[in-house]
Each structure stands twice: as structure tokens, then as C-alpha cells.
Amino acid sequence: MSKIPNMPINLLSNPMYLNPRTHTDEHPPSWYQDTRRYTETYPRLEADLEADVCVVGGGFGGVNTALELAERGYSVVLVEGRRIGWGASGRNGGQLIQGIGHGLDKFANILGEDGVKAVEAMGFEAVRIVRERIERYQIDCDFKLGYCDLALKPRQMKDLEALKRWFDTVGYEAETELVPQHRMHEVVGSNRYVGGLIDRGSGHLHPLNLVTGEAKAASDRGVRIFEQSLVTEVVPGKRVVIRTAQGSVTADRAVLCGNAYVAGLNPVLAGKVLPAGSYLIATEPLAEDVWQRLLPQDMAVCDQNVALDYYRLSADKRLLFGGLCNYSGRDPDSIAGVLKPHLVKVFPELASVNIDYQWGGMIGIGANRYPQIGRLEPNLYYAQAYAGHGLNVTHMAARVIAEHIHGESERLDLFERIKHITFPGGPRFRSPLLAVGMLYHRLKDFV
């Protein structure tokens, strides 16, 4: 078992935790990596190939776009610069939660009432896609239903009450339940919360096993996957050319799925998505009486603050605790050193628990928190900026793009109508400027 040392780790100099500025091309040490079930690796691209579609990026977005297209009979090549699931897809909190975008009402004038309803429906569909994919390809990824939003103050509970009314109005197919403060011990063994909203249609899973299992399914369907093949150039044209150091792919269409790591692929896309650090710790396995007290229904949970905490139990009953979304462009010297006080604030009885793992990575965020899915050219597609909801939205983006390529639907239009601004300040100053801007929203946590 790979455990973290007991000393602080400087992420800026230690490549184990894969700061994008200092990394190796292998998966970073994490509980996910140590419990990985799909160990397939794929060769480097060392030839000049042709395909109907070339997909760039081996995370959820790229892998599922390739799989969706292969299921429709297309010849697909997928090119990944490191390993399948190397980025956020293999490192995230593993919470599968319905919903697309943040505050769709602000887009009502652009999308129209029917458009907003269609995007809302896709938020439910996205979770169904993941569940169907797991079932169809028998992917072993510890999937479990059950999720609860947690309110820290009455204002947040009123928001959850409004969300419950909305679920009932739109006919959400899953069971939802408001939990008052006096019953919160049924969900989480902490005194911090004034209430919650259970959603039995959302849940949690092992993300690295999901994405690598989906890659195996794609490969079995004929997708040619290449790892450790960093793209050096994307050449638009009647046929798109994707070049790496030792090979190329010429395709009728291409899809760019770099997300937080899109820098270098296309300057337009890079300017519209900001990499933000997100971090996790994993405790030692907890005794049964402890975990039964902390999360008696084994649900994934998340509070409603901007600087939020989210956590769940792993299959071997560790507490996986995440948060600390960092817009500053600098990682903490010790992930465990910063996150464990948050954990202890929620569960004081875990003050002496050992932290066996710590890891972090980059998520992609756009200025308006709406997924960026569309085309740079008629035959050059992209998908990025999931703002922390990538586990489900990537799967929806993949389906929308595949449908458009296959001529099945025009749902892509609901994403292309929304214009996305370029972050000001250039690559060097984007993160600090956004960090300053986010202070306003984080101050609301104290109101």
C-alpha cells in the first residue's frame, strides 16, 4: 500500500502529486490508483493513421465520445498525452450528481423556456448514461446510489426546500426527501448541519475504475487508443490533422477534450477555461461502528458553501474527504495539512485518525459555470469547463457531440448559443484575477 509520508509535501517541487507544472506521465499516487482494477495500457502513436474521427484527451469526455461514436459504427482514434484517466477523471471525488450548469435561469433569454427545460432534462439524462454504461459493459467501479446536499444555515435549507419543490414539479424520477435537523443523524454523524436533501438518483463510484473500464469497452468496440502521445499541433482543414512527436492522425472530424489541460492545443479554448486546483484526502479504514455512525447510509454528501466540503466512504470504508478548490494557481504545501482541519471540524472524533493518502489535480472552470461544448470549425468539436460536475456532464457532452456528428439531433445548439468570455490577463494573470473575483462569492459563506 502506498501511504503518504508524515511530513509536509511541497507540491510545487514533488511530482508525486502532479501539479501541472511538475509531473510524470503516470497516474499520481492515490487511493484510486492503489485500487485500480483495469490495468490495460495502450501504445504510443508512432505512425500516420487515418480515421473518421480523432478524439484528443483520455478523460471521461474523450473516452466516452470515442465510445459513443464507435457504437454508431465510426472509425475512431483516441490520443492521450499521458495515461487514460490521468487528469481530473481519475482523481475526482467520485460523486455522481444530477444537473448541468450553475443557475440556468440566467440563460433563459438566450435558451428560451424550452431550451432551459431541455438542458435541465439533460442533467438527469447524464446520470442515466453513466448508470447504463456501467450496466451494459459490466464496469466494476463500486457504484452506489445515494446522495445528500447538506445545509449549514437556514438560508441554505430554504434553497434546498426550493430544490425539492422543483424536483417534484418536473417529475424527477428518483426519490428525494428533505431531512430536518433533528433527523440529520440518520444521514451524517455531525452536528454541523441544519438539514439536508436526499437524492436517491445520484450517488458515488470509483472514478478511475470507471474511466479505465470505459476505455476498455471503447477498445473492445474497435477504438484505437494511444497513450503517452502528447499532441503537438492541431491543423484545421477539410480533414483535420492531429500531430504528435512521432505520428499523426488525419480525420474527417476531430474532438478536443483537454479541459483543464487544453493549453497548447488551441489558444481560443485555453483562454476560456481556467485550471483550478481541487484536493482529496483518504483516511485509514474506519472501524464498522465508526463509519456506521459517521455515514450510516453510505451516501455521498456535499455542503452548500462556495468553499465546500464533500465526502463519502470508499469501498473499504475509508473516509474520502475533499474540497479546497484553489483559484490562486498555487497548491498548498501539504494537502493533508490543509484539509484535515476541515475534516475534524465536521467529525471531531477523527482528530487522531491517520491520513493514508492525499492527492490533487486540476478541474476546468469557465467564467459563467456553463459547460463549453461546441465547434471551432464545422468539423472541429470541443468539450470542456465542467466546473466540478464533470463526472456526469462529460458523458452528456460526449452523447451530444456524437449525436451531432451522426445527424441524430441538434442538441449541440443549446450549448453553442451560450457565448463564453476569455479570461482577462493572459495565462500568467488569469488565476490571480479569478481568485480575487471569487472572494466575493466566498464571503457569502459567512452570511
Helix, coil or strand: residue 326: strand
Predicted local distance difference test score (pLDDT) of residue 262: 87
Nearest-Å Rg of the Cα atoms of the chain is 21
- For the record, the C-alpha cell of 152 comes out as 449549514
Rounded to whole angstroms, the Cα distance separating 186 from 59 reads 35
Mean pLDDT in runs of 10 for the chain (447 residues)?
A: 28 30 76 98 98 98 98 98 96 96 87 96 97 98 98 98 97 97 98 98 98 98 98 97 98 95 86 89 98 98 93 98 74 90 98 97 86 97 91 97 97 95 66 50 47
SS3 at position 56: strand
| CB within 8 Å of 420: residues ≥ 6 apart | 272, 366, 367, 368, 370, 372, 385
Grid coordinates representing 339? 484539509
CA 368, 68, 403, 266 dihedral sign is positive
Rounded-to-integer distance, Cα 426 and Cα 48, Å? 34
The CA-based angle 98-300-34, given to 5 degrees, is: 110
How confident is the model at residue 51, as a pLDDT? 98
Give the strand pairing for 319-326 and 309-313.
Answer: antiparallel
Closest to 96 (Cα-Cα) out of 416, 262, 253, 312? 312
C-alpha cell at 265: 492545443
- The terminus-to-terminus CA distance of the chain in angstroms comes to 43
> Domains in the chain and their CATH numbers?
15-92+208-272+367-425 (3.50.50.60)
The closest alpha carbon to 425, from 211, 204, 233, 274, belongs to 274
pLDDT recorded at residue 73: 98
- Confidence at residue 166, expressed as pLDDT on a 0 to 100 scale: 96
- The DSSP annotation for 382-407 comes to EEE--TT-HHHHHHHHHHHHHHHHHT
204 in Cβ contact with 95 (< 8 Å)? yes
The vertex-130 CA angle with 63 and 385, nearest 5°, equals 60
Contact by Cβ (8 Å): 383, 398: yes
In angstroms, the CA 388 to CA 371 distance is: 10
Residue listed under C-alpha cell 473516509:
319
Q: Which amino acid is at 61?
A: G
